[in-house]
Amino acid sequence: MPSESINFDIVVIGAGISGMIAANRAAQLGQRVLVLEQGSEDKYPCNTRYTGGTFHIGMREITLDEETLTERILEATAGFVSPEIASTLARDGRRVIRWLQDEGSRFMRASASEYHKWVLSPPGRSRPGLDWEGRCGDVLLQSLEKHLIERGGQLIRGARARSLIMEQDACRGVMAELSGKETSYSARAVFIADGGFQGNEDLVKQYISQRPERLKQRGAGTGRGDGMQMASRVGADLIGMDRFYGHMQSRDAMTNPNLWPYPYLDSLVTAGIVVDPEGHRFVDEGRGGVYVANFVAKLPDPMSAYVIFDQQTWDKAGKNGLIPSNPHLEKEGATIHRAESLEALAKVSGIPLAGLLQAVNEYNSALNSQSLSKDLFPTRSSSKYEPCPIVKAPFFAIPMVAGITYTMGGIRVNTNAQALRADGRPIDGLYALGAATGGLEGGPEVGYVGGLAKGGVTALLAAEHFSLQQSVT
């Protein structure tokens, strides 16, 4: 039995960006709000604290018109996201920016790229490795916590939610473990905002990869899917569970903290070719690093792939990005195999020569004849990224690992961020936000919509919908 019962209008599970925006917005609207955060530290680790701070929608500028952004989401996810959800994300992304500005957040343009127009300041991407303290996500969370307390809300650290309290078919609170005892927090609604399930090896093994211990955690690794599992037990539907957002990292990132979360290898991956331990291609590199990372995670060993390219690619694509592979990989001690011939490259890398020669020759031949989508298997897309020939010595092979930042699947929601049952009916009093949701990105093309935008939009929707319902009743 619980040791005590405490009443609120809303209990929020998780104090990352979606939970803290929702809590503050609800408090603005007059709700009594409690946030439960499993981390006990003052600066509890979570993906928001580690973020690079870029607000975008599908790698497009977040304040573009609704029609353009809706089309982008539908295109990126190959229609996996419903038109209604896509329109909501496209419409309300700009509103997240305005709301954060009103809260005192500052933004800057981090590069000439369109999607870098709205980046939290001070920026999080300053050097290789993990560089977060006093930067964008850390500053954001400290500011939102301060505002929440000023608005009469509460944040309790070290409280891990364990189960939802149901009254008939309605969610009316949370059972949580705090300081070794069970506590009941009664509420009119519960907002699940505790992130994805990337930190839960059992769930990752069930949905993402048979070797979860061989994936590199690119974020805090604190998302364990607690809220998602609690919601599922009371009838919430789950969707899109087999996809994640991540990047290809140097294999040495598993042991070298200066090689994650940056630099990542996506610009090399999309310019060269990716091969398995036998030297064979197995994925369409032209669909992007997030797509490739999902396929590498499905290999018998997610640490067994290599990216193959030549000097021209190293000098051009290798220098793309705010923290590019060239020169940072070498400076930070990553393994880079170089050789003046493919035969020598096979010897120094350990990749079987027959497989490597076949992969490179078939790729170069298809590229020369402009038949990447006809004569090459797997086919190679070229609409988003320019494939580069592998012809100029020295040749390179970099051993890689799939890096997972957050899972894209989770609780199915409607345009009010209400948790839905399998038949589409909302569960009264239960909402899901940010990376705890499913159906907002992913799908067959592993369409990346944007974690910060997704978190912010669902947070505002949930807080405003609940508050409106209360005013009506």
249 shares a domain with 171: no
360 shares a domain with 336: yes
Rounded Cα distance between 297 and 187, Å, is: 40
Last residue of a domain, one of 384, 404, 424: 404
386 shares a domain with 423: no
Q: Are 215 and 36 in contact (CB under 8 A)?
A: no
338 shares a domain with 323: yes
Type of residue found at 229: Q
Q: What is the CATH number of the domain that holds 123?
A: 3.50.50.60
431 shares a domain with 381: no
Q: How far is CA 117 from the centre of its chain?
A: 19
236 shares a domain with 143: yes
The per-residue pLDDT for range 360-417, each reduced to its tens digit, is: 999 999 999 999 988 899 999 999 999 999 999 999 999 999 999 999 999 999 999 9
pLDDT classification of 472: cutoffs 50, 70, 90: confident
The pLDDT mean for the chain works out to 96
251 shares a domain with 154: no
The per-residue pLDDT for range 257-289, each reduced to its tens digit, is: 999 999 999 999 999 999 999 999 999 999 999
Residue ranges making up the domain that contains 417: 5-241+408-472
Backbone angles phi, psi at 325, to 5 degrees: -60, -40
pLDDT of residue 124: 77
| Range with lowest mean pLDDT among 125-139, 200-214, 215-229 | 125-139
Q: Are 252 and 401 in contact (CB under 8 A)?
A: no
pLDDT at 6 over 80: no
pLDDT of residue 1: 37
447 shares a domain with 430: yes
Parallel/antiparallel/unpaired status of strands 5-13 and 33-37: parallel
| pTM of structure | 0.96
Last residue of a domain, one of 350, 376, 404: 404
pLDDT of residue 5: 64
Last residue of a domain, one of 365, 389, 404: 404
The per-residue pLDDT for range 319-356, each reduced to its tens digit, is: 998 899 999 999 999 999 999 999 999 999 999 999 99
Parallel/antiparallel/unpaired status of strands 426-432 and 154-157: unpaired
Collect all residues with Cβ–Cβ distance below 8 Å to 229 and sequence separation of at least 6: none
265 shares a domain with 205: no
216 shares a domain with 296: no
pLDDT classification of 2: cutoffs 50, 70, 90: very low
249 shares a domain with 185: no
The per-residue pLDDT for range 91-128, each reduced to its tens digit, is: 999 999 999 999 999 999 988 899 999 999 998 767 89
pLDDT of residue 424: 97
Backbone angles phi, psi at 349, to 5 degrees: -90, -25
Q: Is 339 exposed, middle or buried (CB count within 10 Å of its CB: 0-12, 13-18, 19+)?
A: middle
Q: What is the CATH number of the domain that holds 333?
A: 3.90.700.10
393 shares a domain with 455: no
The two tokens of residue 390 are 């592998």
Backbone angles phi, psi at 424, to 5 degrees: 90, -5
Q: How far is CA 144 from the centre of its chain?
A: 21
When divided into structural domains, the chain yields a total of 2
Return the percentage of the chain with pLDDT > 70, whole number: 98
pLDDT at 3 over 60: no
